Amino acid sequence: MLVVKFGGTSVGKPERMKKIATLVQSMPGKKIVVLSALSGTTNALVKMGDFLLAKEAIKVTEEIAALEKHYLSFVAELYTTAPYKAIGQEIVSRYFSLFRLLAAGRFDDRSYRELLAQGELISTELFYYHLQEQKVGARLLPALHFMSIDENHEPELEKISERITPLIQALGNVDIFVTQGYICRNHRNEIDNLKRGGSDYTASLIGAAVRANEIQIWTDIDGMHNNDPRIVKKTIPIAELTFDEASELAYFGAKILHPSTIVPAQKYGVPVILKNTMDEKALGTVISNKGSKGEFKAIAAKDAITVINIKSSRMLLAYGFLRKVFEVFEKNKTSIDMISTSEVAVSLTIDDDHFLPEIQEELEKLGTIEIEKNQTIICIVGNGIIDKKGVLRDVFDSLADIRIRMVSYGGSHNNISILVDTAQKEKALNLLNEGLFHL
């Protein structure tokens, strides 16, 4: 079994959706096709939801009308025969009636999540009927029947596997299954999602759940690049990455992959291949257990980091102090990314400052607290790089002009993390590109 995921840009125009339909047919064997919403749709739904919460009724009406126009012209171009054009219009009118219904009712968090799920539901339905029009046998597998998360928002991989396996086995004669990325049910059986960019994660979870031979993630670029192409002009694709390398890059901000994508695939050793829909022949990136050692592979950056510094003379030679600090974060369900300690102080970084006021209040019992926002973690990744001579010299030489706030080295063999002020991120990424990759 192959799992193939197509992102928003890969389905965002009628001709692209047609192209991926042809591409899927050319792939041998059975495959599960995971689709995102058409590009821009989830953003539009977020906007709509925010306007609804703010009770800005006129803006909601305008947003719905603009999106509906977009979908009507999409279906007019996607389908070529009268009966399917009618089906396309019926699909659009059904979804947009639902939007209007949601907008007219009592709009709360739950309806917001229901609204966000519609992008993937509509894209998969449009794609499925396009395959039908082309007389290509396929089945829609509703993700809401098998994808679930627990009360901590963690996907329930075992349960997903137990639910999807019989669904597929019962349809032994079907070669193409189509399902929604991103969406799932939560522990209250409500519609929920795997957070923005979550379709990659869906593909990996399904790949692990069915023990697929391969997970392919098709997007608008020829694989993982050595640096963020949105910020650095000259970047190059990487042919091979280990699971650990890819996992760190995704977690530390490489937008091409949702932060948790690699975890389920790695658990069952299913290779993940990143491919480009705009250039099918490009090699892309293969992520597996194999990979070369001892070289810089790529750099990623994660913004919106907060540093918390705790100063305490009580820390001096006191055992158990860090436990008390960590307990505060555990209690507030906030994970720590970087940590740096001295005899009298400890600095920690967090990316989710939802519970920052509670954390600050509790930490104040342990010492003097200083908070700095707008920080960025720059993560330099390469299998076994920390064992290579002179790596820190190369990194520090490259960043001679940058104020480095924290460094993490030695926690993993694959990564060196540097914390800088977000205002210095662009400069730092460019300097590292020159200094470490000579680009």
Q: Among ligand ASP, Mg ion, ligand ADP, none, what does residue 52 contact (CB within 5–8 Å per kind)?
A: none
Question: For the chain, what is the largest distance between any 2 Cα atoms, rounded to a whole number of angstroms?
Answer: 79
Interacting residues toward ligand ASP by CB under 6 A = 7-8, 36-37, 42, 119, 181-182, 196-199
Q: What angle do CA 154, 243, 168 make, to 5 degrees?
A: 55
Candidates 7-15, 42-50, 323-331, 372-380 — which segment interacts with Mg ion by CB under 5 A?
Answer: 7-15
Q: Among Mg ion, ligand ASP, ligand ADP, none, what does residue 182 contact (CB within 5–8 Å per kind)?
A: ligand ASP
Q: Among ligand ADP, Mg ion, ligand ASP, none, what does residue 228 contact (CB within 5–8 Å per kind)?
A: ligand ADP
Least Å distance, CB 137 to ligand ADP, is 26
Residue 197 engages Mg ion in binding (rule: CB under 5 A)? yes
Least Å distance, CB 253 to ligand ASP, is 15
Least Å distance, CB 254 to ligand ADP, is 4
Q: Among ligand ADP, Mg ion, ligand ASP, none, what does residue 254 contact (CB within 5–8 Å per kind)?
A: ligand ADP
For residues 47 and 262, give the distance between their C-alpha atoms in angstroms, rounded to a whole number: 29
Least Å distance, CB 202 to ligand ASP, is 8
Count other C-beta atoms under 10 Å from residue 40's C-beta.
14
Rounded to a whole number of angstroms, the distance between the first and last alpha carbons of the chain is 39
Distance of CA 73 to the CA centre of its chain: 29
Least Å distance, CB 123 to ligand ASP, is 9
Residue 259 engages Mg ion in binding (rule: CB under 5 A)? no
| Three-state SS letters, the chain | CEEEEECHHHHCCHHHHHHHHHHHHHCCCCEEEEECCCCCHHHHHHHHHHHHHCCCHHHHHHHHHHHHHHHHHHHHHHCCCHHHHHHHHHHHHHHHHHHHHHHHCCCCHHHHHHHHHHHHHHHHHHHHHHHHHCCCCCEECCHHHCCEECCCCCECHHHHHHHHHHHHHCCCCCCEEEEECCEEECCCCCEEECCCCCHHHHHHHHHHHCCCCEEEEEECCCCCECCCCCCCCCCCECCEEEHHHHHHHHHCCCCCCCCCCHHHHHHCCCCEEEEECCCCCCCCEEEECCCCCCCCCEEEEEEEEEEEEEECHHHCCCCCHHHHHHHHHHHCCCCEEEEEECCCEEEEEECCCCCHHHHHHHHCCCCEEEEEEEEEEEEEECCCHHHCCCHHHHHHHHCCCCCEEEEEECCCCCEEEEEEEHHHHHHHHHHHHHHHHCC
Residues β-bridged to residue 214 = 2
119 vs 155, which CB is nearer to ligand ASP?
A: 119
Q: Among Mg ion, ligand ASP, ligand ADP, none, what does residue 181 contact (CB within 5–8 Å per kind)?
A: ligand ASP
Residue in the shown chain whose Cβ atom is closest to ligand ADP: 7
Least Å distance, CB 228 to ligand ADP, is 4
Least Å distance, CB 224 to ligand ADP, is 5
Residue 155 engages Mg ion in binding (rule: CB under 5 A)? no
Least Å distance, CB 127 to ligand ADP, is 15
Interacting residues toward ligand ADP by CB under 6 A = 7-10, 36, 197, 219-221, 224-225, 228-230, 254-256, 298
Q: Among ligand ASP, ligand ADP, Mg ion, none, what does residue 88 contact (CB within 5–8 Å per kind)?
A: none
205 vs 395, which CB is nearer to ligand ASP?
A: 205
Residue 119 engages Mg ion in binding (rule: CB under 5 A)? no
Show contacts with Mg ion in window 157-196 (CB under 5 A): none
46 vs 386, which CB is nearer to ligand ASP?
A: 46
* Binding-residue total with Mg ion (CB under 5 A): 2
120 vs 245, which CB is nearer to ligand ASP?
A: 120
Least Å distance, CB 103 to ligand ADP, is 26
67 vs 274, which CB is nearer to Mg ion?
A: 274
Least Å distance, CB 327 to ligand ASP, is 34
Q: Among Mg ion, ligand ADP, ligand ASP, none, what does residue 383 contact (CB within 5–8 Å per kind)?
A: none
**Closest-CA residue to 85 (of 35, 136, 129, 137):** 129
Contact footprint for Mg ion (CB under 5 A): 7, 197
